[in-house]
Amino acid sequence: MKKTWLFGLVFAVIGCATMAQTSTSQSGPAPKDGELSFPADYAAYPAFLKAVQKPKHVRDLFVNPTGAKTQKGGMFPNGSVLVMEIYNAKLDADGNAVKGSDGTNVKDDLAKIFVMEKGAGWGKNAPGGLQNGDWIYTAFSADGKPLPNTDYTACRGCHLPLGESKDFVHRYDEYFDKRSH
Protein backbone atom coordinates (compact mmCIF):
# COMPACT_ATOMS: atom_id res chain seq x y z
CA MET A 1 0.00 0.00 0.00
CA LYS A 2 2.83 2.36 0.88
CA LYS A 3 4.53 1.85 -2.54
CA THR A 4 1.29 2.52 -4.40
CA TRP A 5 0.74 5.76 -2.48
CA LEU A 6 4.34 6.87 -3.08
CA PHE A 7 4.10 6.04 -6.81
CA GLY A 8 0.86 8.04 -7.02
CA LEU A 9 2.48 11.01 -5.30
CA VAL A 10 5.51 10.94 -7.63
CA PHE A 11 3.22 10.64 -10.67
CA ALA A 12 1.09 13.59 -9.47
CA VAL A 13 4.16 15.78 -8.85
CA ILE A 14 5.63 14.99 -12.28
CA GLY A 15 2.26 15.57 -13.93
CA CYS A 16 1.80 18.94 -12.23
CA ALA A 17 5.34 19.99 -13.10
CA THR A 18 4.75 19.06 -16.73
CA MET A 19 1.48 21.00 -16.82
CA ALA A 20 3.12 24.03 -15.24
CA GLN A 21 5.96 23.90 -17.75
CA THR A 22 3.52 23.69 -20.67
CA SER A 23 1.38 26.60 -19.52
CA THR A 24 4.47 28.70 -18.76
CA SER A 25 5.84 28.13 -22.25
CA GLN A 26 2.53 29.22 -23.77
CA SER A 27 2.15 32.32 -21.65
CA GLY A 28 4.02 35.55 -22.07
CA PRO A 29 3.72 38.11 -24.81
CA ALA A 30 2.13 37.00 -28.05
CA PRO A 31 4.57 36.97 -30.96
CA LYS A 32 4.29 39.47 -33.77
CA ASP A 33 4.80 38.98 -37.48
CA GLY A 34 8.43 38.16 -38.16
CA GLU A 35 9.00 36.61 -34.71
CA LEU A 36 8.16 32.94 -35.34
CA SER A 37 10.84 30.28 -35.03
CA PHE A 38 11.83 28.33 -38.12
CA PRO A 39 10.19 24.87 -37.98
CA ALA A 40 13.30 22.86 -38.91
CA ASP A 41 11.31 19.61 -39.15
CA TYR A 42 8.58 20.95 -41.45
CA ALA A 43 9.55 18.70 -44.38
CA ALA A 44 8.32 15.77 -42.27
CA TYR A 45 4.88 17.41 -41.86
CA PRO A 46 1.98 16.08 -43.90
CA ALA A 47 1.63 17.72 -47.32
CA PHE A 48 -1.02 20.40 -47.51
CA LEU A 49 -0.70 20.76 -51.30
CA LYS A 50 2.18 20.08 -53.66
CA ALA A 51 3.30 21.72 -56.90
CA VAL A 52 0.93 24.69 -56.76
CA GLN A 53 1.59 26.53 -60.01
CA LYS A 54 2.19 30.27 -60.27
CA PRO A 55 3.41 32.04 -63.43
CA LYS A 56 7.10 31.86 -62.45
CA HIS A 57 7.02 29.86 -59.23
CA VAL A 58 6.05 26.49 -57.79
CA ARG A 59 4.80 26.18 -54.24
CA ASP A 60 4.82 23.19 -51.91
CA LEU A 61 2.76 23.54 -48.75
CA PHE A 62 2.90 21.59 -45.50
CA VAL A 63 0.76 21.47 -42.35
CA ASN A 64 1.97 20.27 -38.97
CA PRO A 65 0.22 17.29 -37.31
CA THR A 66 -1.85 19.61 -35.09
CA GLY A 67 -3.28 21.42 -38.11
CA ALA A 68 -3.67 18.20 -40.11
CA LYS A 69 -6.31 17.04 -37.60
CA THR A 70 -8.63 19.84 -38.74
CA GLN A 71 -11.82 18.76 -40.46
CA LYS A 72 -13.40 20.58 -43.40
CA GLY A 73 -15.61 23.39 -42.17
CA GLY A 74 -13.60 23.76 -38.98
CA MET A 75 -11.03 26.26 -37.85
CA PHE A 76 -7.41 25.24 -37.48
CA PRO A 77 -6.61 24.84 -33.77
CA ASN A 78 -4.07 26.89 -31.86
CA GLY A 79 -0.65 25.38 -32.45
CA SER A 80 -1.30 24.86 -36.17
CA VAL A 81 1.65 25.64 -38.43
CA LEU A 82 1.41 26.03 -42.20
CA VAL A 83 4.61 26.21 -44.23
CA MET A 84 4.94 27.30 -47.86
CA GLU A 85 8.09 26.65 -49.84
CA ILE A 86 8.37 28.96 -52.85
CA TYR A 87 10.56 27.66 -55.65
CA ASN A 88 11.56 29.70 -58.65
CA ALA A 89 10.50 28.09 -61.88
CA LYS A 90 13.27 27.20 -64.27
CA LEU A 91 13.27 29.85 -67.00
CA ASP A 92 14.22 29.60 -70.65
CA ALA A 93 16.38 32.15 -72.50
CA ASP A 94 13.31 34.36 -73.08
CA GLY A 95 12.40 34.41 -69.39
CA ASN A 96 9.42 32.06 -69.74
CA ALA A 97 8.84 29.20 -67.32
CA VAL A 98 10.12 25.87 -68.60
CA LYS A 99 7.35 23.25 -68.64
CA GLY A 100 7.83 19.59 -67.82
CA SER A 101 6.27 16.71 -69.75
CA ASP A 102 3.17 17.10 -67.56
CA GLY A 103 2.78 20.75 -68.62
CA THR A 104 3.69 22.21 -65.23
CA ASN A 105 6.53 24.53 -64.30
CA VAL A 106 9.85 22.84 -63.61
CA LYS A 107 11.20 23.72 -60.15
CA ASP A 108 14.52 25.50 -59.91
CA ASP A 109 16.01 26.83 -56.66
CA LEU A 110 14.16 27.27 -53.37
CA ALA A 111 13.64 31.03 -53.05
CA LYS A 112 11.82 31.52 -49.71
CA ILE A 113 9.90 29.76 -47.00
CA PHE A 114 6.84 31.38 -45.46
CA VAL A 115 5.40 30.20 -42.15
CA MET A 116 2.07 31.02 -40.58
CA GLU A 117 1.32 29.83 -37.09
CA LYS A 118 -1.77 30.18 -34.94
CA GLY A 119 -1.87 30.83 -31.21
CA ALA A 120 -4.48 32.02 -28.73
CA GLY A 121 -4.64 35.82 -28.73
CA TRP A 122 -1.84 36.24 -31.26
CA GLY A 123 -3.98 38.29 -33.63
CA LYS A 124 -4.25 41.16 -31.16
CA ASN A 125 -0.83 42.45 -32.27
CA ALA A 126 -1.79 42.63 -35.95
CA PRO A 127 -2.18 46.02 -37.59
CA GLY A 128 -5.71 47.44 -37.39
CA GLY A 129 -7.96 46.18 -40.16
CA LEU A 130 -5.54 43.38 -41.09
CA GLN A 131 -6.34 40.81 -38.40
CA ASN A 132 -6.34 37.29 -39.81
CA GLY A 133 -7.77 35.59 -36.77
CA ASP A 134 -4.85 34.57 -34.56
CA TRP A 135 -2.40 33.81 -37.37
CA ILE A 136 1.13 35.27 -37.33
CA TYR A 137 3.50 35.26 -40.34
CA THR A 138 7.26 35.01 -40.76
CA ALA A 139 9.38 34.76 -43.91
CA PHE A 140 12.64 32.84 -44.08
CA SER A 141 15.41 32.43 -46.62
CA ALA A 142 16.00 28.99 -48.15
CA ASP A 143 18.51 28.27 -45.39
CA GLY A 144 16.00 29.04 -42.61
CA LYS A 145 17.18 32.51 -41.62
CA PRO A 146 14.52 35.19 -41.04
CA LEU A 147 14.14 37.63 -43.93
CA PRO A 148 14.44 41.15 -42.51
CA ASN A 149 12.30 43.98 -43.83
CA THR A 150 9.51 41.69 -45.03
CA ASP A 151 6.21 43.53 -45.54
CA TYR A 152 3.77 41.34 -43.60
CA THR A 153 0.89 43.67 -44.41
CA ALA A 154 1.07 42.13 -47.91
CA CYS A 155 0.66 38.63 -46.40
CA ARG A 156 -2.20 39.81 -44.22
CA GLY A 157 -3.89 41.69 -47.07
CA CYS A 158 -3.76 38.60 -49.28
CA HIS A 159 -5.24 36.30 -46.60
CA LEU A 160 -7.81 38.79 -45.28
CA PRO A 161 -10.49 38.30 -47.98
CA LEU A 162 -10.68 34.57 -47.17
CA GLY A 163 -12.30 35.43 -43.86
CA GLU A 164 -13.12 33.21 -40.92
CA SER A 165 -15.08 30.70 -43.01
CA LYS A 166 -11.75 29.59 -44.54
CA ASP A 167 -9.79 30.49 -41.38
CA PHE A 168 -7.78 32.91 -43.55
CA VAL A 169 -6.08 29.92 -45.26
CA HIS A 170 -5.59 29.91 -49.02
CA ARG A 171 -6.73 26.78 -50.86
CA TYR A 172 -8.70 25.66 -47.81
CA ASP A 173 -11.39 23.88 -49.86
CA GLU A 174 -8.88 22.37 -52.29
CA TYR A 175 -6.88 20.90 -49.41
CA PHE A 176 -9.87 19.27 -47.76
CA ASP A 177 -11.35 18.07 -51.06
CA LYS A 178 -8.07 16.43 -52.11
CA ARG A 179 -7.43 15.03 -48.65
CA SER A 180 -10.77 13.21 -48.58
CA HIS A 181 -9.97 11.27 -51.76
Co-location of 159 and 92 in the same domain: yes
Co-location of 19 and 42 in the same domain: no
Spell out the long-range contacts of 95-98 with Cβ–Cβ below 8 A and sequence spacing 24 or more. 97/55, 97/56
Query: Domain tally for the chain?
Result: 2
Question: For residue 12, what pLDDT is reported?
Answer: 37
Owning domain of residue 111: 31-179
Question: For residue 15, what pLDDT is reported?
Answer: 39
pLDDT digits 0-9 by tens, 124-172? 989 999 999 999 999 999 999 999 999 999 999 999 999 999 999 999 9
Co-location of 53 and 100 in the same domain: yes
**Which is more confident, 25 or 154?**
154
Co-location of 2 and 79 in the same domain: no
Co-location of 99 and 12 in the same domain: no
CA distance linking residue 148 with residue 130, whole number of Å: 20
- The answer for 171, left when phi > 0, alpha when psi is -120 to 50, beta otherwise, is left
Name the average pLDDT for the chain.
87
Co-location of 52 and 85 in the same domain: yes
Co-location of 121 and 166 in the same domain: yes
Co-location of 17 and 39 in the same domain: no
Other CB atoms within 10 A of residue 55 CB: 8
pLDDT, mean of residues 2-16: 39
pLDDT, mean of residues 4-17: 38
CA distance linking residue 171 with residue 62, whole number of Å: 12
Q: Are 69 and 62 in contact (CB under 8 A)?
A: no
Co-location of 22 and 67 in the same domain: no
Q: What is the DSSP annotation of 13-49?
A: HHHHHHHHHHHHHH-SSPP-TT-PPP-TTGGGSPEEE
Residue (of 157, 147, 150) closest to 127 by Cα position: 157
Identity of the amino acid at 134: D
Co-location of 36 and 24 in the same domain: no
Q: What is the DSSP annotation of 87-130?
A: EEEPB-TTSPBPB-TTSSBPEEEEEEEEEEEE-TTGGGGSPTT-
Co-location of 15 and 42 in the same domain: no
Co-location of 129 and 53 in the same domain: yes
Q: What CATH number has the domain bearing residue 104?
A: 3.50.70.20
